[in-house]
Amino acid sequence: MITLAGIIGSGKSSLTEILSKELGTKAFYEPVEDNPVLPLFYKGNEIAAKKRAEGDKEATNPYAYLLQTFFLNRRFKMIKQAMQEDNNVLDRSIYEDAIFMKMNTDMGNATKVEYDIYQKLLDNMLEELPYAAHKKSPDLMVMIYVSYDTMIKRIQKRGREYEQVENDPALVEYYQRLLHYYDSWKEEYDASPLLVIDGDKYDFVNNEEDHNKVLNMIEAKLVDLGNLTKEEFSDIKKGR
C-alpha cells in the first residue's frame, strides 16, 4: 500500500491515478465536493477575524475542530478500506492529517484543549488501525515536495475559486505557513519508509520523461523494500 502526501496543488491526486494504472491497483481519493463543514469553516474564519478586529484577541473559529474531526473520520475510514487488500494507493492519509489541526491551533483558530482532544483521538485511531485493517502501516509514503511558486501555478490551473490567492489575499500567508509545517512533518514522519519526490523538478503529469523517471524511483524503492521483485519491476517498465 502506497500513501501520498504533499501540500495543496502538489499533484497527489494525479500521481495516485498514475500509480494505480501503472501497478494495476485501486486508487482511493480524498472527497472534496461533499463536505458540509467546509463552508462553515470559512464562515467561522470571517467571524473570528471580525471579533479579533473588535478587540477579542482570543477569538477562535468555532468550526475548526469540527472540520478537522470530519476529515480525520473520513481518512480513518478510507485507510481502513484500503488496508483490507495488499495493493492500493491513497492520495492523502491519516498520517498527514495532524498538520492542519496543529496549524489551526497555532493560528488561533482552535484552542489548545481542542488540539489535545484531537491528538488523543488521532493516537487512539492509529493504535486501532492494525486491528481494524490488514496492515499496520503503509508500505511506502511518497511525499511530493513543491515550492510556493509551483504550488500557486497548479492551484491556478485547476481553478477552484476558494483556493485562489486573487480571491483571498490572506491565502498567501496561509500557503507559505503550510509549506513550513510540511517541512517539519517531512523530518518527523516515521510511520513507514518515506520517499520524497521533487515536484518542482519533475512534471510527471505533462512530461513523459519525467513521468517515467518518477515511476522508476517509486518502483525501485518498492524493490528495495521487498514489495516488488526485480523481475516485476522490469516487466512493468516494458509494459509502458
Over its C-alpha atoms, the chain yields an Rg (Å, rounded) of 19
Q: What pLDDT, on a 0 to 100 scale, did the predictor assign at position 185?
A: 96
Q: What pLDDT, on a 0 to 100 scale, did the predictor assign at position 10?
A: 93
User: Which amino acids are annotated catalytic?
Assistant: 91
Per the annotation, binding residues for substrate are 30, 42, 68, 92, 97, 163
Per the annotation, binding residues are 6-14, 30, 42, 68, 92, 97, 154-158, 163
Report in angstroms the alpha-carbon separations of 31 from 6, 71, 90, 196: 16, 9, 12, 24
189 Cβ neighbours under 8 A, 6+ residues apart: 5, 95, 141, 143
3-state secondary structure of 102: helix
In this structure, are residues 148 and 180 in contact, taking their beta carbons and an 8 Å threshold? no
Digit-by-digit pLDDT tens for the chain (240 residues) are 999 999 988 999 999 999 999 999 999 987 766 788 888 887 887 788 889 889 988 899 999 999 999 999 999 999 988 888 878 999 999 999 899 999 999 988 999 999 999 999 999 999 998 887 777 889 999 999 999 999 999 888 888 787 888 887 878 888 999 999 999 999 999 999 999 999 999 999 999 999 999 999 999 999 999 999 999 999 999 888
Q: Is beta strand 88-90 parallel, antiparallel or unpaired with respect to 194-198? A: unpaired
Angle at 8 between CA 173 and CA 59, to 5 degrees: 45
Residue type, 165: V
Distance CA 214, CA 56 (A): 49
Residue 134: CA atoms inside 13 Å, Cβ hemisphere, count? 10
Sign of CA dihedral 8, 216, 188, 191: positive
* Torsion, CA 226, CA 229, CA 233, CA 235, rounded to 10: -160
Q: What pLDDT, on a 0 to 100 scale, did the predictor assign at position 179?
A: 96
Q: What pLDDT, on a 0 to 100 scale, did the predictor assign at position 32?
A: 67
Compute the 3-state secondary structure of the chain and give helix, strand, coil in percent, each to the nearest 5: 60, 10, 35
- Rounded to the nearest 5°, which phi and psi values hold at 233? -60, -45
Q: What pLDDT, on a 0 to 100 scale, did the predictor assign at position 49?
A: 80
Cell, residue 233: 519491476
Q: What pLDDT, on a 0 to 100 scale, did the predictor assign at position 52?
A: 86
Distance CA 65, CA 118 (A): 8
Per the annotation, binding residues for ATP are 6-14, 154-158
* DSSP type of residue 62: T
Domains of the chain, earliest start first: 2-238 (3.40.50.300)
Q: What pLDDT, on a 0 to 100 scale, did the predictor assign at position 122?
A: 96
Q: What pLDDT, on a 0 to 100 scale, did the predictor assign at position 131?
A: 84
In this structure, are residues 155 and 8 in contact, taking their beta carbons and an 8 Å threshold? yes
